[in-house]
Amino acid sequence: MQETNIFERLRNGETIPANDNQAYKMREASFETKKLSVQMNNSSNPDEIRNLLSQITATEIDESVTVFTPLHINYGKHTKIGKNVFINFDCVFLDLGGITIEDNVLIAPKVSLLSEGHPISPEQRPSLNVGHIHLKKNAWIGANATILQGVTIGENSIVAAGSVVFKDVPDNTMVGGIP
């Protein structure tokens, strides 16, 4: 039986133990993404930024998408971005668990979308837990907000600046604060 690729396992939400024999592939892929990210983050040309982001995500980034760099992504190929999306300066996307950004989403400066984390147990903490992040249509994520693994932000919903979100936000809702 053929072993499933580590990136498929991550997309399926599997926890990856620290001693996994494919763990090195995550680091290698991150360094490959870093090469493109450096080029993207040093560009001031919106078309070039979108082109490089398309290469990073292995998807077509629509011309209606605006990205103010720097944008830091550790893998990229598990990120999907819709149309009319605005991503402001200095955001961080850890996407091994998957990130979906639907149409008309606004992402303010210094937003972190972290689809990755670690188990609570000290013995298992070096392992990697993942959970897909989904930002639905017309969501607005305020400055310096952090969205944690497995969270869906509902359609038309707003996450207030500085918030930490660890559970789903329903459609047409505004949330704020740190639990």
* Domains and their CATH numbers in the chain: 6-175 (2.160.10.10)
**CB–CB of 140/169 below 8 Å?**
no
Q: Which of 162, 106, 170, 91 is nearest to 138 (CA)?
A: 106
The set of catalytic residues is 118
pLDDT value of residue 164: 98
Provide Rg for the chain, Cα atoms. Answer: 16
Burial class (CB in 10 A: 0-12, 13-18, 19+), 58: exposed
| Token pair in block for residue 54 | 């398309």
CA dihedral 165, 166, 167, 173 (to 10 degrees): 0
Cβ atoms within 10 A of the Cβ of 17, count?
A: 13
Average pLDDT on 132-142 reads 98
Q: Which of 80, 56, 95, 50 is nearest to 68 (CA)?
A: 50
pLDDT value of residue 2: 52
pLDDT value of residue 3: 60
**CB–CB of 135/153 below 8 Å?**
yes
Measured CA to CA, the distance from residue 89 to residue 94 in angstroms comes to 16
In this structure, the chain runs to a length of: 179
pLDDT value of residue 179: 84
Average pLDDT on 69-93 reads 98
Given a cut of 80, is residue 152 above it in pLDDT?
Answer: yes
| Token pair in block for residue 39 | 């080029």
Q: Which of 67, 82, 63 is nearest to 137 (CA)?
A: 82
**CB–CB of 79/73 below 8 Å?**
yes
| Token pair in block for residue 160 | 């207030």
Confidence of residue 1 (pLDDT cuts 50, 70, 90): very low
- The one-letter amino acid at 82: G
